[in-house]
């Protein structure tokens, strides 16, 4: 396992802390996410389940919503943590949401509570992401 930078460790710690606030009474699978923005701010989110599946919210979506609510739009790094035997990747919808606010080379650190981690990028998580270029008619 490659040691993480202090900035990445801080992002993982923020994701770990917010994970405790997850509302996961149905699956018991709590997830925490933290986003560091280009200006150095950190925004966090946790999954929020709802008895009326699929009306819950993913941790990554919560962190993105908090970031947008603060008027910030540029993701610089992401950390996601869950109590799983291997690092948990964002769902497809959250991969697209991350791509909306990230350059392809934005680092995403996926980790478990016991310290197993995988470092990847938004582009590697979502090759061929749907982006603004598809919206151009010119």
Domain boundaries defined on the chain:
6-125
The angle that helices 92-100 and 59-69 make with each other, rounded to 10 degrees, is 20
pTM (two decimals): 0.94
Annotated catalytic sites, by residue? 60
Bond preceding residue 54 cis, omega within 30 of 0:
yes
Write the CATH number of the domain with boundaries 6-125.
3.40.140.10
Distances (CA, A) of 75 to 39, 49, 85, 96, 135: 9, 25, 27, 13, 22
pLDDT, tens digit only, all 138 positions of the chain = 568 899 999 999 999 999 999 999 999 999 999 999 999 999 999 999 999 988 999 999 999 999 999 999 999 999 999 999 999 999 999 999 999 999 879 999 999 999 999 999 999 999 988 888 888 876
């Amino acid at each position: 396992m490659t040691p993480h930078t202090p900035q990445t460790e801080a992002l993982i710690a923020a994701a770990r802390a917010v994970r405790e606030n997850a509302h996961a009474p149905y699956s018991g699978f709590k997830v925490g996410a933290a986003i560091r923005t280009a200006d150095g701010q950190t925004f966090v989110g946790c999954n929020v389940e709802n008895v009326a599946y699929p009306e819950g919210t993913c941790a990554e979506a919560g962190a993105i919503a908090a970031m947008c609510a603060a008027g910030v739009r540029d993701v610089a790094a992401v950390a996601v943590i869950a109590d799983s035997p291997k690092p948990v990747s964002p769902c497809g919808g959250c991969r697209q949401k991350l791509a909306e606010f990230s350059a392809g080379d934005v680092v995403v650190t996926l980790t478990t509570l016991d310290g197993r981690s995988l470092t990847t990028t938004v582009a590697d998580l979502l090759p061929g992401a749907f982006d603004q270029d598809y919206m151009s008619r010119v």
